[in-house]
């Protein structure tokens, strides 16, 4: 399977389920996804869409029990990481795929110094002495805009924005090929968010790391990403390069999402809202998962689940109505 | 039954409790024990004080299923009557501690400030004396007897309840819905009655259950030391103390009363643990 | 929409102060704030976490006691209200809280929650009339009647926030403080609630104080916007004026930091502020923004700038307004 | 600490002053003359008011390290304490050491192997440990190890073999509680975000547990151990009674029975002060474990 080298990451038909008191939660349900080397993709969706679960599946960090990857393959660099041993997975984690978690306040260990937390990563994946690891850790701090002298400080002595910089330093310490950033700026204030986004942009140029940016904020995606994937109820509904998707969103859900955000350049009295709520993950509707809220849906939509089809070069949409429309245009 | 609507918290708690087998077991044991205590005169084959020196030191037999003690009294009957004492002391001592400690803790938690400081400093002093030692001293000051034993054990448990209730009240006072109620114009009394008390009932019920176990244990310990219920009235701890001279030859005299204490306390612990899990808001979502 | 012409004032604060005592000294949460809210308008109050915006909202309706200054409601100073006045005042001014999870007592059902203000003030003589009013309120905020006996834990964030709104409306207030009412919600639900608030205002002519950290939301919903920084209102103007002609360097930085979900807007002029918001405990004399201001000058520390009108209905608290624009000129 | 000592003695003074019974008559016997009774009362200050007596007690304790004399033996209480208190401390420290070492070890293993057979069995035994009164456990141990097997002696506290049973008996409830607490604290920490961060680095599970989780889990565990020490000091009274150990607890119980108040006061005061010291030590331990508290102390 070395043919896949075009893609750094390819996910096929991934399904992740959680056993809970209220029933079987289908968090990720038939997800297909590809990522090129050096590409930055924004994975956008609302709470419960399965974004974080997807990221944890790639990291092989789904807590089991209650979670389980029930089917699918995740090819990283052409090899399926689901079939690897725990030992091999550990060598991928951190060294090849690193992750930034959402809440900087809780994602650092409160009883260890920040330089120790960075150095730990370096010691794990590189042949270095303790001294070299600490030196490199301090260099990483410098890189993310923290004075290296602050290395021996503890996390509680840093502000939220600074902590997130430390988390970024940990993630990038071993120069991974893929960085997964899960809502990296959601917990931060606007001006601090701007600082962190600026840093991430610089680091992206510096390291050319492929990135999956998980967020609910289409604005943040616009700042950092080359392409965008819209996720809903455990599936990807639309994927395209950023220019196409922002200029010409096709899926009714994507359009609804854009309409729900107050526009800073227009004055409207009321927003265009989508009716209803995302489906209950313990009882996903048959067929298209968006059909119950979709103004265009008909019986066909509730009967079968649409596959992703390419409606224009590089623009994939999972919607029968769009496919119909495009089919008509192609024939007529 | 408005309270038992299918989606109410109480109903959900009971459903979760029923799923916990150990908690259900604990509940059954406590029910049986309660019935035993209430109907002791009917259930016990002999009166607790009936002496029969001829039959002294009988090992377990059909006539005396758990044997007889040094005065020839039937051990089973004494254990059955002993349930009355243990349950009374446990329940009343905890009620006493819960009421007085609870009120103090609630005042400290709700009003805060100097009142809080004064109450909690006093509790700190009481905390510096190990509970059993405090109970012993109070029991000594009051003299023997069921009532005094209950008071001693209750007062010794008071600071614990003050702390628990204060903590519970503090965690609820910080909630936004208390602020919302004040915003609507609710008075302190309304807020305490409608919002704080119902919401801190969970930890209080759980702790109350667990503390009944502690109180029974403390009462048994006091009687064991000879400071609680005086013979011939049967108290499990006192029966254990009475058996100490005959351990070498008549072990059953010690084994059965101790077993009664152990089973009672275990049942209460199972029930308390189960209640805590069933009421844990973390599991609710 | 446009701001209403010269109208009656609903609420006015005069030198309003709220300090909290901390072990390290007084925390200046609200410091000398002079603002007014006109009858029927929505005043948006924006700022980053810790700037004192929520405290200001609470002092204005006396959920917190002011340390100094006054809050005029019509012609009465609510700071001087006694217990009885306050009880009457509670019917006229209400609040919607940020967190729809913790602001609802988990042991009360939807109808009990909405009935609470009616019962506290004994608005109706009997239960029958109360329940008629509850039904009416549920209709008003768009809650289905079948939910009347549900408990908060069974509802999603949007519906819970509707309960919060219904409860605030129950006593027919004139003035409502909305403290981050949509921050905890996903964009689609957020849009639904924003529309609801807008509709209610059209229908009942409420006056809103809308507190948020989200600049696109505040622009959408407000007539005028006040920007807060470290306990001070530093700029206040019509909502479009703030966005098109921001004068305070902090406002400028804040606005430039918003990630916009569009690709064609190239933001070359982004101002990245240095450092974090300093502590509001014992703030130094002079301009609070001095430490992070890109256009600070030596005399900024000499006195604290007051909020003064620099154009029609445009108030600013800065010693050197326009300095930043002047500085930028040569660069272009 | 001084306010606590003052508070403790005040409460004891109040309690013992309302206690029925005349210590003079108890000490001197039924047929003592009124004269000698009065002599006794004067000697021990019993003729004075409660507050005056308390004032003298505090003054003598602070200035002369004198906390009174026994009514019965007429010897200084401080001397009696010097004889008995080390025994109680030895008993309590031995028990807390047992409880901590074994309790934490079992707790950690249970947390790592949640829902395994080991976990389930340990939890059942821990529940038994919590539910068994110390004095019952002590009697069962004597029945089994002393009477039946004849391995260990059933009384005294001089030799190591005499100490083993009391240590284990006294440590049992605390060990159970520490096991349960360690388990639940570890399980809670293991769910936290920074543990996920450590795993995301590719760290080995064993290192994640011992380096990242344990130190964070220690904070509530240390609290519990501190509280347990107080309970052990109280529990030592019962253990001393069961195994006939000449410790301060037994002295106190005998003091109560014979209305020998100075001895009771001394015993409770010593135990309370020991407990206060332990709490002080626990506070210092927090600062050592948790850097957040360390910086708070520094400023």
- pLDDT tens-digit series, residues D179-229: 999 999 999 898 899 999 999 999 988 889 888 999 899 988 998 898 888
D157 shares its domain with D276: yes
By residue count, chain A amounts to 332
At residue B205, the 3 state secondary structure works out as helix
Dump pLDDT digits (tens) for B88-133: 999 999 999 999 998 899 889 888 888 888 888 888 888 878 888 8
- Average pLDDT estimate for D141-166: 85
Per-residue confidence in pLDDT tens, chain C, 332 aa: 444 455 789 999 999 999 998 888 889 999 999 999 999 999 999 999 889 999 999 999 999 999 999 999 988 999 999 999 999 999 999 999 988 888 999 889 999 999 999 999 999 988 999 999 999 999 999 999 999 988 888 888 899 999 999 999 999 999 999 999 998 888 889 999 999 999 999 999 999 999 999 999 999 999 999 999 999 999 999 999 999 999 999 999 999 888 888 877 656 578 888 888 888 888 878 888 988 888 888 888 888 888 999 988 899 998 877 655 544 433 33
Burial of residue C185 (number of CB atoms within 10 Å: 0-12, 13-18, 19+):
buried
Q: Enumerate the residues of chain C whose CB falls inside 8 A of the CB of residue B198.
A: 105, 107
**How far is Cα C31 from Cα C282, in angstroms, rounded to an integer?**
11
* Nearest beta carbon to residue C191 from set A198, A260, A265: A260
Asked if the C-beta of D290 comes within 8 angstroms of chain A's C-beta atoms, the answer is yes
Among candidates A118, A127, A190, which has minimal Cα distance to A161?
A190
Q: Enumerate the residues of chain C whose CB falls inside 8 A of the CB of residue B175.
A: 102-103
Q: Enumerate the residues of chain C whose CB falls inside 8 A of the CB of residue A268.
A: 220
Dump pLDDT digits (tens) for D44-102: 777 777 788 888 888 888 777 777 888 888 888 888 888 999 999 999 999 999 999 99
Q: Does D16 map to a domain?
A: yes
Q: Which residue has the tokens 């936290």?
A: D192
What is the CATH number for D116?
A: 1.10.3720.10
Identify from A55, A99, A111, A168 which residue to disrupt to test chain D contact, counting D C-beta atoms within 10 A and taking the largest count: A111
In percent, the amount of chain D with pLDDT more than 70 equals: 97
Q: How far, in whole angstroms, is CA C111 from its chain's centroid?
A: 27
Q: Are strands A227-232 and A40-44 parallel, antiparallel or unpaired?
A: parallel
* Nearest beta carbon to residue D253 from set B124, B225, B247: B225
D183 shares its domain with D154: yes
Q: Enumerate the residues of chain A whose CB falls inside 8 A of the CB of residue D197.
A: 101, 107-109, 117, 167, 170
* Nearest beta carbon to residue A111 from set D193, D196, D216: D216
Closest-CA distance of chain D to residue B143, Å? 7
Q: Does D179 map to a domain?
A: yes
D7 shares its domain with D117: no
D37 shares its domain with D167: no
**Are C120 and B186 in contact (CB < 8 Å)?**
yes
Closest-CA distance of chain C to residue B263, Å? 35
**How far is Cα D38 from Cα D33, in angstroms, rounded to an integer?**
9
- Average pLDDT estimate for D158-171: 89
- CB contact set of A24 (below 8 Å; sequence gap of 6+): A17, A18, A282
Dump pLDDT digits (tens) for A274-326: 888 888 888 888 889 899 888 888 888 888 888 888 888 889 999 988 888 87
Asked if the C-beta of C306 comes within 8 angstroms of chain A's C-beta atoms, the answer is no
pLDDT at D19 over 80: no
Asked if the C-beta of A283 comes within 8 angstroms of chain C's C-beta atoms, the answer is no
Among candidates A162, A239, A229, which has minimal Cα distance to A196?
A162
**How far is Cα C28 from Cα C195, in angstroms, rounded to an integer?**
35
Identify from C101, C116, C171 which residue to disrupt to test chain B contact, counting B C-beta atoms within 10 A and taking the largest count: C116
Q: Enumerate the residues of chain A whose CB falls inside 8 A of the CB of residue C219.
A: 262, 264
Asked if the C-beta of C215 comes within 8 angstroms of chain A's C-beta atoms, the answer is yes
Three-class DSSP labels, chain A: CHHHHHEEEEEEEEEEEEEECCEEEEEEEEEEEEEECCCEEEEECCCCCCHHHHHHHHHCCCCCCCEEEEEEEEEECCEEHHHCCHHHHHHHECCCEEEECCCCCCCCCCCCCHHHHHHHHHHHHCCCCHHHHHHHHHHHHHHCCCCHHHCCCCHHHCCHHHHHHHHHHHHHCCCCCEEEEECCCCCCCHHHHHHHHHHHHHHHHHHCCEEEEEECCHHHHHHHCCEEEEEECCEEEEEEEHHHHHHCCCCHHHHHHHHHCCCCCCCCCCCCCCCCCCCCCCCCCCCCCCHHHCCCCCHHHHHCCCCCEEEECCEEECCHHHHHHHHHHHHC
| HSE-CB for B225 with a 13 A CA cutoff | 35
pTM equals 0.84
Three-class DSSP labels, C46-57: ECCCCCCHHHHH
Closest-CA distance of chain B to residue C293, Å? 35
Q: Enumerate the residues of chain C whose CB falls inside 8 A of the CB of residue B284.
A: 153
Dump pLDDT digits (tens) for C114-150: 999 999 999 998 899 999 999 999 999 999 999 998 8
Among candidates A33, A23, A330, A38, which has minimal Cα distance to A206?
A38
Q: Enumerate the residues of chain A whose CB falls inside 8 A of the CB of residue D203.
A: 90, 94, 120, 124
Across chain B, mean pLDDT equals: 85
* Nearest beta carbon to residue B285 from set C90, C95, C153: C153
**How far is Cα C297 from Cα C323, in angstroms, rounded to an integer?**
9
**Are B199 and C164 in contact (CB < 8 Å)?**
no
Asked if the C-beta of D245 comes within 8 angstroms of chain B's C-beta atoms, the answer is no
Cβ-Cβ contacts under 8 Å between A and C: the total is 111
Q: Enumerate the residues of chain C whose CB falls inside 8 A of the CB of residue A47.
A: 186
D40 shares its domain with D153: no
Inter-axis angle of helices D261-289 and B131-142, to 10 degrees? Answer: 160
Q: Which residue has the tokens 């701007």?
A: A194
**How far is Cα A1 from Cα B212, in angstroms, rounded to an integer?**
66
Q: Enumerate the residues of chain A whose CB falls inside 8 A of the CB of residue C256.
A: 194
Q: Which two tokens stand for residue A228?
A: 């965008």
ipTM of the predicted structure? 0.82
Q: Which residue has the tokens 């950023």?
A: A242
The strand pairing partners of A40, in sequence order, are: A211
Beta strands, E only, chain C = 9-22, 25-33, 36-38, 42-46, 68-73, 76-77, 93-96, 175-179, 207-212, 224-229, 232-238, 308-311, 314-316
**Are A110 and D292 in contact (CB < 8 Å)?**
yes
Contact indicator for A242, A222 with CB cutoff of 8 Å: yes
pLDDT at B2 over 50: no
Q: Enumerate the residues of chain B whose CB falls inside 8 A of the CB of residue D257.
A: 226
In order of their start, the domains of chain C are 9-92+173-329 (3.40.50.300), 108-172 (no CATH)
- Average pLDDT estimate for A234-259: 92
Asked if the C-beta of C157 comes within 8 angstroms of chain B's C-beta atoms, the answer is no
Q: Enumerate the residues of chain C whose CB falls inside 8 A of the CB of residue A195.
A: 272-273
Closest-CA distance of chain C to residue A282, Å? 14
B 93-122 residues inside an 8 A Cβ radius of D: 121-122
D97 shares its domain with D149: yes
D56 shares its domain with D105: no
At residue C75, the 3 state secondary structure works out as coil
pLDDT at C4: 46
How far the first Cα of chain B sits from its last, in Å, is 25
Among candidates C180, C200, C186, which has minimal Cα distance to A277?
C186
Task: Find, in chain C, the residue whose alpha carbon is nearest to that of A49.
Answer: C186
Q: Does D213 map to a domain?
A: yes
D93 shares its domain with D227: yes
Domain count, chain D: 2
D59 shares its domain with D94: no
Those chains having 3 or more beta-carbon pairs within 8 angstroms of chain A are C, D
Q: Does D76 map to a domain?
A: no
Q: Enumerate the residues of chain B whose CB falls inside 8 A of the CB of residue D141.
A: none
Asked if the C-beta of D19 comes within 8 angstroms of chain B's C-beta atoms, the answer is yes
**Are A190 and C276 in contact (CB < 8 Å)?**
no
**Are A95 and D196 in contact (CB < 8 Å)?**
no
Q: Does D186 map to a domain?
A: yes
Q: Enumerate the residues of chain C whose CB falls inside 8 A of the CB of residue B184.
A: 90, 94, 116-117, 120-121, 167, 171
At residue C255, the 3 state secondary structure works out as helix
By residue count, chain B amounts to 285
Contact indicator for D234, D272 with CB cutoff of 8 Å: no
Identify from B6, B180, B199, B283 which residue to disrupt to test chain C contact, counting C C-beta atoms within 10 A and taking the largest count: B180
D56 shares its domain with D96: no
At residue C265, the 3 state secondary structure works out as coil
Q: Are strands A79-80 and C224-229 parallel, antiparallel or unpaired?
A: unpaired
Task: Find, in chain A, the residue whose alpha carbon is nearest to that of D197.
Answer: A107
**What is the extent of the structural domain holding D52?**
2-63
pLDDT at D150: 83
Q: Which helix (H) or strand (E) holds D24?
A: helix D23-28
Q: Enumerate the residues of chain D whose CB falls inside 8 A of the CB of residue A90.
A: 202-204
Cβ-Cβ contacts under 8 Å between B and D: the total is 130
At residue C107, the 3 state secondary structure works out as coil
Q: Cβ of C243: how many Cβ atoms within 10 Å?
A: 19
Q: Which residue has the tokens 């701090």?
A: A141
Identify from C58, C103, C167, C178 which residue to disrupt to test chain B contact, counting B C-beta atoms within 10 A and taking the largest count: C103
C 45-104 residues inside an 8 A Cβ radius of A: 48-49
Task: Find, in chain B, the residue whose alpha carbon is nearest to that of C88.
Answer: B185
D146 shares its domain with D21: no
The strand pairing partners of C235, in sequence order, are: C227, C316
D100 shares its domain with D7: no
Most confident of A115-124, B74-83, B220-229, D112-121: A115-124
**How far is Cα B143 from Cα A188, in angstroms, rounded to an integer?**
64
Task: Find, in chain C, the residue whose alpha carbon is nearest to that of A253.
Answer: C188
Q: Which two tokens stand for residue D94?
A: 């031995």
**Are D140 and B121 in contact (CB < 8 Å)?**
no
Q: Does D166 map to a domain?
A: yes
Q: Does D255 map to a domain?
A: yes
In order of their start, the domains of chain B are 26-36+67-265 (1.10.3720.10)
Closest-CA distance of chain B to residue C259, Å? 31
Closest-CA distance of chain B to residue D34, Å? 25
**How far is Cα A167 from Cα A181, in angstroms, rounded to an integer?**
10
* Nearest beta carbon to residue A95 from set D198, D202, D292: D202
Q: Enumerate the residues of chain D whose CB falls inside 8 A of the CB of residue B132.
A: 231, 234-235, 237-238
Contact indicator for D176, D126 with CB cutoff of 8 Å: yes
């Amino acid at each position: 399977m070395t043919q896949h080298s075009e893609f750094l990451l390819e996910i096929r038909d991934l399904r992740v389920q959680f056993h809970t008191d209220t029933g079987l939660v289908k968090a990720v349900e038939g997800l297909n996804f590809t990522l090129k080397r050096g590409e930055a993709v924004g994975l956008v969706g609302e709470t419960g869409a399965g974004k974080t679960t997807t990221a944890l599946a790639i990291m092989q960090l789904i807590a089991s029990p209650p979670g389980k990857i029930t089917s699918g393959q995740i090819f990283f660099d052409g090899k399926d990481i689901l079939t690897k041993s725990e030992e091999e997975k550990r060598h991928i984690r951190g060294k090849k795929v690193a992750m930034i978690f959402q809440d900087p306040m809780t994602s650092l260990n409160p009883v260890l110094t920040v330089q120790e937390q960075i150095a730990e990563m370096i010691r794990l994946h590189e042949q270095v002495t303790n001294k070299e690891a600490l030196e490199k850790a301090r260099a990483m701090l410098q890189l993310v805009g923290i004075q290296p002298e602050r290395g021996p400080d503890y996390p509680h002595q840093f502000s939220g924005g600074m902590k997130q910089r430390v988390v970024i330093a940990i993630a990038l310490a071993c120069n991974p090929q893929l960085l997964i950033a899960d809502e990296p700026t959601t917990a931060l204030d606007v001006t601090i968010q701007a600082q962190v986004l600026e840093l991430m942009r610089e680091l992206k140029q510096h390291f050319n790391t492929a990135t999956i940016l998980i967020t609910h904020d289409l604005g943040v995606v616009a700042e950092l990403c080359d392409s965008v994937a819209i996720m809903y109820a455990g599936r990807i509904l639309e994927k395209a390069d950023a220019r196409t998707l922002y200029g010409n969103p096709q899926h009714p859900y994507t359009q609804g999402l854009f309409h729900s955000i107050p526009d800073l350049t227009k004055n409207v009295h009321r927003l265009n809202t989508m009716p209803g709520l995302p489906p209950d993950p313990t009882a996903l509707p048959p067929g298209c998962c968006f059909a119950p809220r979709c103004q265009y849906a008909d019986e066909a939509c509730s009967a079968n689940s649409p596959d992703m089809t390419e409606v224009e070069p590089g623009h994939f949409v999972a919607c029968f109505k769009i496919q119909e429309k495009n089919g008509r245009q192609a024939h007529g | 039954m408005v309270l038992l609507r299918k989606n109410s918290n109480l109903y959900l708690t009971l459903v979760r409790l029923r799923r916990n087998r150990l908690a259900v077991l604990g509940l059954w044991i406590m029910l049986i024990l309660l019935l035993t205590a209430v109907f002791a005169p009917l259930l016990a084959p002999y009166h607790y004080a009936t002496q029969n020196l001829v039959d002294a030191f009988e090992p377990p037999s059909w006539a005396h299923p758990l044997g007889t003690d040094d005065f020839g009294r039937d051990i089973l009957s004494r254990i059955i009557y002993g349930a009355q004492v243990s349950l009374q002391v446990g329940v009343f001592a905890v009620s006493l501690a819960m009421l007085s400690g609870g009120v103090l803790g609630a005042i400290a938690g709700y009003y805060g400030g100097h009142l809080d400081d004064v109450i909690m400093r006093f509790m700190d002093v009481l905390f510096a004396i190990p509970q059993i030692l405090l109970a012993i001293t109070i029991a000594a000051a009051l003299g023997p007897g069921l009532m005094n034993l209950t008071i001693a054990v209750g007062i010794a448990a008071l600071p614990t309840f003050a702390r628990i209730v204060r903590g519970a009240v503090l965690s609820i006072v910080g909630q936004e819905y208390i602020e919302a109620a004040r915003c609507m114009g609710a008075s302190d009394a309304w807020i305490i009655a409608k919002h704080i008390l119902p919401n801190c009932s969970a930890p209080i019920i759980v702790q109350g259950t667990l503390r009944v176990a502690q109180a029974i244990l403390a009462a048994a310990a006091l009687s064991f030391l000879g400071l609680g219920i005086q013979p011939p009235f049967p108290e499990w701890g006192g029966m254990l103390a009475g058996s100490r001279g005959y351990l070498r030859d008549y072990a059953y005299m010690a084994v059965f009363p101790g077993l009664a204490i152990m089973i009672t306390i275990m049942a209460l612990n199972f029930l308390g643990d189960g209640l805590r899990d069933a009421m844990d808001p973390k599991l609710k979502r | 929409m446009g701001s209403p012409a010269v109208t009656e004032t609903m609420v006015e604060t005069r030198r309003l102060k709220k300090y909290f005592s901390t072990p390290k000294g007084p925390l200046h949460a609200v410091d000398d704030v002079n603002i007014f809210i006109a009858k029927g308008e929505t005043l948006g109050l924006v700022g980053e976490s810790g700037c004192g915006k929520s405290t200001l909202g609470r002092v204005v309706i006396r959920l917190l006691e002011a340390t100094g200054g006054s809050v005029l409601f019509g012609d009465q100073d609510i700071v001087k209200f006694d217990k009885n006045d306050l009880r009457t005042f509670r019917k006229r001014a209400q609040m919607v809280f940020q967190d729809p999870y913790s602001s609802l007592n988990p042991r009360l059902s939807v109808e009990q929650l909405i009935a609470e203000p009616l019962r506290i003030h004994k608005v109706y003589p009997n239960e029958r009339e109360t329940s008629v009013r509850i039904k009416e309120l549920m209709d008003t905020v768009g809650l289905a009647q079948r939910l009347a006996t549900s408990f908060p834990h069974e509802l999603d964030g949007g519906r819970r926030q509707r309960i919060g709104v219904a409860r605030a409306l129950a006593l027919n207030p004139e003035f409502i403080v909305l403290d981050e009412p949509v921050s905890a919600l996903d964009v689609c639900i957020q849009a639904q609630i924003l529309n609801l608030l807008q509709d209610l205002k059209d229908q009942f002519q409420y006056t809103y104080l809308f507190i948020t950290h989200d600049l696109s939301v505040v622009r959408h919903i407000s007539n005028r916007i006040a920007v807060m920084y470290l306990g001070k209102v530093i700029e206040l103007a019509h909502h479009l004026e703030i966005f098109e002609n921001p004068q305070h360097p902090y406002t400028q930085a804040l606005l430039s930091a918003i990630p916009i979900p569009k690709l064609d807007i190239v933001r070359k002029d982004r101002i990245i502020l240095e450092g974090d918001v300093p502590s509001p405990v014992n703030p130094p004399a002079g301009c609070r923004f001095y430490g992070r201001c890109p256009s600070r000058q030596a005399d900024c520390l000499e006195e604290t700038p007051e909020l003064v009108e620099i154009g029609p209905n445009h108030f600013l608290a800065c010693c050197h307004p326009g300095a930043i624009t002047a500085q930028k000129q040569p660069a272009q | 600490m001084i306010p606590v000592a003052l508070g403790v003695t005040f409460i004891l003074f109040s309690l013992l002053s309302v206690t029925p019974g005349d210590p003079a008559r108890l000490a001197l016997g039924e047929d003592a003359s009124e004269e000698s009774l009065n002599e006794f009362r004067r000697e021990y200050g019993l003729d004075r008011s409660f507050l005056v007596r308390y004032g003298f007690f505090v003054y003598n304790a602070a200035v002369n390290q004198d906390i009174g004399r026994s009514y019965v033996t007429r010897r200084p209480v401080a001397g009696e304490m010097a004889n008995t208190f080390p025994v109680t401390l030895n008993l309590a420290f031995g028990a807390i050491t047992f409880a901590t070492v074994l309790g934490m070890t079992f707790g950690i293993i249970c947390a790592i192997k949640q829902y395994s057979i080991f976990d389930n069995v340990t939890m059942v035994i821990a529940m038994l440990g919590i539910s068994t009164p110390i004095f019952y456990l002590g009697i069962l141990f004597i029945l089994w190890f002393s009477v039946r097997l004849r391995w260990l002696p059933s009384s005294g506290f001089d030799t190591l073999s005499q100490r083993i049973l009391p240590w284990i008996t006294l440590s049992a409830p605390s060990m159970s509680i520490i096991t349960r607490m360690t388990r639940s604290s570890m399980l809670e920490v293991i769910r936290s975000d920074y543990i996920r961060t450590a795993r995301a680095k590719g760290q080995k599970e064993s290192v994640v547990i011992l380096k990242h989780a344990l130190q964070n889990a220690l904070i509530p565990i240390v609290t519990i151990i501190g509280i347990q020490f107080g309970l052990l000091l109280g529990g030592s009274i019962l253990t001393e009674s069961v195994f006939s150990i000449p410790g301060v607890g037994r002295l106190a119980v005998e003091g109560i029975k014979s209305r020998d108040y100075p001895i009771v006061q001394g015993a409770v005061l010593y135990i309370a002060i020991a407990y206060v010291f332990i709490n002080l030590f626990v506070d210092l331990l927090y600062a050592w474990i948790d850097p957040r508290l360390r910086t708070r102390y520094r400023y």
